[in-house]
Structure 1
Amino acid sequence: MTIKPENELPLRHELKHRINLREDLVLSQRLRKLFAHDKNAGPGGTYRVTSLYFDTPYDSALREKIDGVNRREKFRLRYYGMDTSFIRLEKKYKVNGLCGKRSARMTQEQVKELLSGSSEFLLDSDEPLFTELYSKIKGKGLRPKAIVRYDREAFLYAPGNVRITLDRDIRTGIGNVDFLNPAIFYMRAMEPGTVLEVKYDAFLPELVRMAVQVPGRQAAACSKYALSRRFD
């Protein structure tokens, strides 16, 4: 199997804003009138996301994010809602402000083995992302650092392949404690508010640009992983 290098894969633009509850109320009402919800969402167009982020003993991913390094990456495990039977290993990377993502399915048994400290099984698969994670675990000491959980409302717009998300009630848990227990209650990672994200391919349609405008707000770096590490 031939795997394209990441600099040859399509990259997307990503804009982020932190908005308050009042701005969220106005914006979400506007978006619901203009765009369709993600078809995988539950009632009300929302679903829960739970992610476990990995980092080095020196917090390389966190430091590179804070410092605005042009080429950076982070690994995470992710499941949706209360269903821990479907989990993905994801590698998110940024190149000169553009973002991309690789992902691979990981079974619940594999996740349990990984979280127990065993990684040799990663070499038993022909999945390139497994092999890369193994090399980073052994070479850089990559290990679980923080859990991030939030409720997401997602909207889609086909022109420009646009995805608009509103991430609410962002919470965090340190380490990998009970990542596979969806009933665990985590602490708040930020004051009440919402993270607005807009992702698109080559261009942002004018309709979307106008729809997501929040007076007085400018796009700014806003990492949910970085927010989750504030309490370390």
Structure 2
Amino acid sequence: MRYERKYKLENLQASIFEQAVRLHPAGFRSIYSPRWVNNLYFDTPDFSAFHDNAAGVSHRMKHRLRWYGRPFEVLENPLLETKIKENLLGRKDIFPLPEGKYRVEKMDALLEQVREHLGYGHELLPVLFNSYYRSYWATPDERFRITIDHQLQFGAYSNTSARLLPYQLPDVIMELKYEKEDESRSDFILQHFPFRQTKSSKYVMGVEVCYGGGV
């Protein structure tokens, strides 16, 4: 399992995070081209994953479909991911799905495959779309990785292709990720960032902006 430490800037530019990363003495460098990351999150009818996350329950999980690029409404080779958190540690399990292109308005068969893969006794429903632009960074040995997300976009789930992402937030989220065995080296990394760690679940942010206090 790995540590995932998050930082959030409100109403500021992603370049502020990127400058801090570039100037870090650990020598972070860009490792991939920036790209759009797209998600469709699943939850129970009473939004149990949302409430567990918002309350900081020590053991929790959430499920999502993830795909990359534009246009958003075309899911090209989507992945089914389950994120599991144990206090500050987390891991991500990835389940393969048949490769291909799926459209939002014609994804009933894909959603059925998701439910079969998860195999839970309770009903899981698609509840939230979100999308953001992500850059990727790492130390030379790639033991410490950073992602910076901005242009955060959200929308309540809909099976039509109209107005899928009507809400946008100006926040920028930086996440530092490293394996449990590298915790002893993390102080050097953390002490050179002039930011305060925060709880910054994009799923929680999205549910709050799309559904308000009605869940």
Query: What TM-score results when the alignment is normalised by the length of structure 1?
Result: 0.74
Q: Which residue of 1 aligns with 2:190?
A: 209
Q: What is the rounded CA distance, in whole Å, between the counterparts of 1:162 and 1:144 in structure 2?
A: 32
Structure-2 separation of matches of 1:111 and 1:188: 21
Q: Does residue 1:97 correspond to 2:92, yes or no?
A: no
Aligned counterpart for 2:31 among listed residues 13, 34, 38: 38
Q: Distance in 1 between matches of 2:105 and 2:12?
A: 43
1:188 corresponds to which of 151, 167, 172: 167
Contact kept? 1:170, 1:189, Cα under 8 Å: yes
**Which residue pairs with 2:143 in the alignment?**
161
Deviations 1:129-154 (A, max 9, x none): x7551x22xx2110100011000111
In the TM superposition, residue 187 of structure 1 has moved relative to its aligned partner by 2.6
* Cα displacement (A) at 1:97: 2.1
Task: Give 1:49 shift.
Answer: 0.2
Amino acid at match of 1:50: N
Taking structure 1 as reference, are residues 52 and 119 closer, same or farther at Cα in structure 2, changes over 3 Å only? closer
| 1:155–1:74 CA distance, 2 compared to 1 (3 A) | same
Report deviation, 1:31.
Answer: 1.8
TM-score by length of 2: 0.79
Which amino acid is 2:153 matched to? R
- Unpaired runs of 5+ residues, structure 1, are 1-10, 123-129
Cα–Cα, structure 1 residues 50 and 119, in superposed 2: closer, same or farther, change >3 Å? closer
Cα pair 2:60 2:86 within 8 Å, conserved: yes
Fraction of identical pairs, as percent: 26
Q: CA deviation at 1:109?
A: 6.4
2:52 matched to 1:61? no
CA distance in 2, matches of 1:186, 1:113: 14
Letter aligned with residue 195 of structure 1: I
Partner of 2:203: 225
CA shift in 2, pair 1:213/1:159, >3 Å = farther
Q: CA deviation at 1:161?
A: 1.9
Q: What is the rounded CA distance, in whole Å, between the counterparts of 1:176 and 1:211 in structure 2? A: 43
**Structure 2 unmatched ranges of 5 or more:** none
* Equivalent residue number for residue 20 of structure 1: 10
Q: How big is the shift at 1:119?
A: 6.0
Contact 2:75 2:102 in 1 (8 A): no
CA contact (8 A) 2:105 2:159 kept: no
Distance 1:225 1:71 in 2: 16
Look up the SS of the partner of 1:38 in the other structure: strand
Pairwise CA RMSD: 2.9
Higher normalized helix content (fraction of residues): 1
Aligned to 2:79: 88
Which residues in structure 2 correspond to 1:137-148 (within 5 Å)?
Answer: 139-148=121-130
Say if 1:72 and 1:115 are closer, same or farther in 2 by CA, change over 3 A.
farther
